[in-house]
Structure 1
């Protein structure tokens, strides 16, 4: 006995098909017409799109500030699957002086039997040495085929020499390293100067992280990548300056993969200004890189449409406004860095991308599902509606209209970046490996059933 999804429109990056989908167990077994068999359960998707579950390749669940965790893996992945995301890739963070294996063990303890989505890890490298280099091989054997390094944050950043050596190792292994690109050394000096001058408000988070420092570190990374002759992946691109630097590199033939986030498409630096009665409210938008200007919003949308930006992820890193963000009420440098977003990504990109004709429906599936799966070694197991693929399926009715309200969200955080935004669409059904998890926007399976996904080698490409 199987499940038939009928009368819907199947979306891929290549087009939209009006065919039925048959699911047996965890997989899609047939796509076509008149494919039902005796005993099959029939789901009528008339008027809806049938799409692969979205993949969020940039989350930071279980982030701690002052001993408090807002979104754990349990609450965060529950919010994710409610918002159409069926797989996440989180960052297991090596601490300086620690090992990759210790980080992996810690993250396995957090996730075991505790996720509503399927999941994998990127391994953050903050302490480059011969042991870490050897451990990269061990991580690949565990199905972890992507890593991350930072140009910023004292407790995470590494030098150019380490980046060069790590890229050489990634090329040898056929894996990918992603990079947080901001010049942390100069940012630290700008922050020190701001505090000395009495500039303590949240807006100075933005002022001390100018787009020139994103562009500079992107240029430096690309130069190192060119020397090694290996692709690089840039996380959460925020600025037109950074985008233009990447385009110059691509014209020279360098392989650069780009990720951006909804906040850099939909929000701008005006959110740091005092609002209403609460002059500290800009703290809600303290994230890195910070929000940029409206022109950057436009450039990033254009890059998505042209296929120059590969992925839209969230960089979901939730801290409550009360107590946690308030740690920096007298000093913006103490505001925990990060913001929520995993619950809203799908509908926001549909509403402000597809409905406003900035991108097509096919492009939405490409940047939310297909490209993440291909780049990070999950394709064709995930990211596509295809015979033999996991039945991670979203049935999306585009006609419903709602308003985003923090009081109604599943994300375990006390505000929403997009409070009051109109959004369109309703998730009629969301399947994870053939099991219905969400029906009519309600989670009907109260037990987390997410599984760890071993990933293959990344597929590098420039569209």
Structure 2
């Protein structure tokens, strides 16, 4: 059945206006005043913003790590995402050295099939570069539509790749039209500092942060930027947490390099002191990069405002406090890294950003949806409200106040990193390709309804385009 959304205030990265939206066959078919659509279901959006569905570019669902597996899979994780106003996720597909890339991709298809309630795609980890990998990459891009590759500069002896692997990945990405993503921390220095801390008997969660200081993130970010310049390629730095990394990204962009930066809500509102909570509660806040001293927060907010950072991911990677995080009770290095963030990403940015005057509502849409769609080959199918785009739409009430809590969230994990935080603004109803997933704050979707997205190649012009409108 067609749907007609009336009386809402449509907000895109470029505009804000009151209009009706006609949805037919999962697409936006018309936008205008006083549209007529006999037989269409009428949806009254009075008092609501009408946003394009959020896109989370950074999730880890059903992912093995640290001897365990993330608590949220593609079903619970995408349900929680939908409640939070996200209609597309791009998850990280891990690879195994010596195995064909297609095997790892198939594993991720198996994990997600018949589970996701919203649309999804994959990034692909590159842990090694050899002739077999290089020969597979064109097929990965053309047939699977996976056009972004992640290289870890951290997690020595687990995920970490050497600089030659990063450089050759950048060269291959330039040749084939892909975007290289990096986890930018100096894994060798972290390994030394971590071993030293354990030898000295420093095992508490706070030492996770103390052994991963901002300098190691800034150094790795700068190194990745220089290699990108040398390769004349393109780079996306994930989960930027500190002023040191922001500075390196801004320097590179000022030189005209195609380098992009993502931060996460946890770095905008939480700080290093959370890792010092007593009774091992600090383990709830162990993820990488770690939380920083509070003064870094305003640097990150300013970077979002001035465009030095462009996107907001969740880095969703949830582990129960009891039974998973406590694997590291006697040794912080054994605490599974990650937190439950996917559900509150959008609301936190709106509440702390828009409502407090740090960013505009148009910037909010760009940061949570539009810029991500452009960078990762989904625009204009996703990331905007325009005739011909997928009807991924969020009806958002900016006046609702709520308190974030594990008692009311929809993630499968037993705690919430933002427990007790008051936020203003909440998604009320969420549509994915024209069908309700969340209606009046109730889940009405269906596991398996989410579609796998084959994404277009990286396009520097589209990614840098400040004018949102393009023909569809």
Alignment TM class, shorter chain as reference:
over 0.9
Task: Provide TM-score, normalisation by structure 2.
Answer: 0.95
Greater shift in the superposed pair: 441-450 or 307-316: 441-450
1:289-328 mapped onto 2 (5 Å cutoff): 289-328=289-328
2:219 alignment partner in structure 1? 216
For residues 114 and 33 of structure 1, the distance between their equivalents in structure 2, rounded to whole angstroms, comes to 38
State whether residues 246 and 308 of structure 2, in contact with CA within 8 Å, keep that contact through their aligned partners in structure 1. Answer: no
Which residue pairs with 1:254 in the alignment?
257
Residue matched to 1:114:
115
Quote the offset at 1:38 in angstroms: 1.3
Whole-Å separation in 2 of the counterparts to 1:336 and 1:445: 31
1:239 to 235, 242, 262: 242
Match of 2:197 in 1: 194
Give how far 1:294 is off: 1.6
Q: Secondary structure at the match of 2:226?
A: helix
What displacement does 1:15 show?
1.9
What displacement does 1:68 show?
A: 4.9
1:369 is aligned to 369
Give the aligned CA root-mean-square deviation in angstroms.
1.2
Deviations 1:110-148 (A, max 9, x none): 111110110000000112211111111111011111110
Match of 1:267 in 2: 270
| Structure 1: unaligned runs, 5 residues or longer | none
Q: Is contact 2:51-2:396 (8 Å) kept?
A: yes
Measured against aligned partners, the alpha-carbon deviations of 1:306-362 in whole angstroms (never above 9, x if no partner) come to 122111000000011111110100000000011110011111111111100111110
Q: What SS does the corresponding residue of 2:295 show, helix, strand or coil?
A: helix
The SS at the match of 1:232 is strand
CA distance in 1, matches of 2:269, 2:211: 21
Q: Separation in 1 of the partners of 2:101 and 2:5?
A: 43
CA contact (8 A) 2:117 2:445 kept: no
1:16-165 equivalences under 5 Å are 16-64=16-64, 66-141=67-142, 142-153=144-155, 154-165=157-168
Q: How many residues align?
A: 460
Which whole-Å CA distance do the structure 2 matches of 1:2 and 1:250 have between them? 44
* TM-score calculated relative to the size of structure 1: 0.97
> How far apart in 2 are the matches of 1:315 and 1:269?
17
TM-fit CA distance, 1:40: 1.4
Matches within 5 A, 1:417-436: 417-436=417-436
How many angstroms apart in 2 are the aligned matches of 1:416 and 1:364?
Answer: 23
Distance 2:438 2:413 in 1: 21
Distance across 1 between alignment mates of 2:108 and 2:446: 22
Does structure 1 conserve the Cα–Cα contact (< 8 Å) formed by 2:377 and 2:456? yes
Q: Distance in 2 between matches of 1:66 and 1:13?
A: 41
**Is 1:284 equivalent to 2:284 in the alignment?**
yes
Residue 416 of structure 1 is matched in structure 2 by 416
Conservation of the 8 A alpha-carbon contact between 2:178 and 2:458: yes
> Mind listing any 5+ residue stretches in structure 2 that lack a counterpart?
467-472
Residue 350 of structure 2 is aligned to residue 347 of structure 1: no
Large movers: runs of 4+ above 4 Å: 65-69
* 386-395 or 132-141: bigger deviation: 132-141
Distance 1:133 1:213 in 2: 29
Partner of 2:244, secondary structure, is helix
